[in-house]
Amino acid sequence: MRVALLLEYDGAAYGGSQLQRNAPSIQGELERALAALIGAPVRAALAGRTDAGVHASGQVAAFTTAARHGPATYVRALNALLPPDIAVRAAAEVDEGFDPRRHAVRRLYRYCILAGSTRRPLWRRSAWHVPVSLDTTAMAQALAVLPGEHDFAAFGGLPGPGRSTIRRMERAWLEQHQGEGIGVWLEANAFLPHQVRRTVGALVEIGRGRLAPEVFAEWLAGPRAGRAGPAAPPQGLTLVSVAYRAAPAGPDWQAHIEKVKQDEDV
């Protein structure tokens, strides 16, 4: 049977989501827990690659096994075996051919910024502290040009030789919360390497008055690699959810996804 898992994790202690040779990873911890439960090696696939220090509340993983445990058993047992900074929020049996990365149609990220002169220790693992006030009107103006299909080469790393840098941005918006919290939300069919962090890094430069908001439109019109940045630090970034054209396991799975979205409030 093939099983899909909805994962939440604090990525601060990990070298990223994918297996690493010289650093702990989310995939590595998940596969160790699965092997302990099932009694045999298991290879898990993830919907999205998150960098070192990046978090997730809606990462999707899938694996194939001969074991016949039910979804509730996978949730209960894996949460007992995984370290405290990784949790399984839901599990479901899915079609044998389900690929969490290739079948995804949208990915939603949130980046959290704390803008103000005073450090906030309780947020140091989940937000970027920028020690000045930011012009959120200018930042929102810059974000407004991103939705649509564009060549985003200026905003991210190159995906590999011969691979396209064209992506479709579904939504891009900014939320200002009580106090100093600013949430930057980006949803696209897929992202280039480091695209969200480089976009946010440039956005903060706009908020500080070092770049004009019109620069985002200029970079889309002249997509030269590496123009955006510097990359924002990883701790402010969370993979909130991954959407599929057909839910991997029917309405119950989609209900879990919607709950994850509702829970994500800075």
Q: Given 3-state DSSP classes, what are the helix, strand and coil percentages for the chain, each rounded to the nearest 5? A: 30, 30, 40
The verdict on 185 and 112 lying in the same domain is: yes
CB-based burial label for 207 (10 Å; 0-12, 13-18, 19+): buried
Same domain as 177, residue 251: no
Bridge partner residues of 171 (DSSP): 187
DSSP 162-231: T---EEEEEEEEEEE-STTEEEEEEEES---TTHHHHHHHHHHHHHTTSS-TTHHHHHHHS--TT-S-PP
Where do the DSSP E strands lie in 102-161?
A: 104-115, 128-130, 148-151
What would the two tokens of residue 25 be?
Answer: 């990873």
Q: Are strands 237-244 and 55-64 parallel, antiparallel or unpaired?
A: parallel
Residue 181 shares a structural domain with residue 223: yes
Q: Are 109 and 229 part of one and the same domain?
A: yes
Select which of 10, 51, 85, 151 is catalytic: 51
First to last CA, the chain: 37
Claim to verify: residue 227 and residue 134 sit in the same structural domain: yes
Range of the domain at 217: 105-238
Domain with residue 141: its CATH number is 3.30.70.660
Q: Give the whole-angstrom CA distance, residue 263 versus residue 140.
A: 23
Confidence (pTM):
0.92
The residues, any chain, with a CB within 8 Å of residue 87's CB and separated by 6 or more, are: 7, 8, 9, 79
Q: Do 95 and 38 share a structural domain?
A: yes
Task: Provide block-wise average pLDDT over 10 residues at a time, the chain (266 residues).
Answer: 95 95 95 97 95 95 94 96 96 92 94 91 92 95 97 89 91 85 96 96 97 97 87 97 76 60 52
pLDDT at 61: 96
What is the CATH number for 259? 3.30.70.580
Shared-domain flag, residues 111 and 223: yes
226 and 135, same structural domain? Answer: yes
Q: Which residues contact 84 (CB under 8 A, 6 or more apart)?
A: none
- Identify whether residues 154 and 57 lie together within a single domain: no
Q: How many domains does the chain have?
A: 2
Does residue 82 share a domain with residue 174? Answer: no
Q: Is 51 a catalytic residue?
A: yes
234 and 154 within one domain? yes
Tell me: do 16 and 42 sit in the same domain. Answer: yes
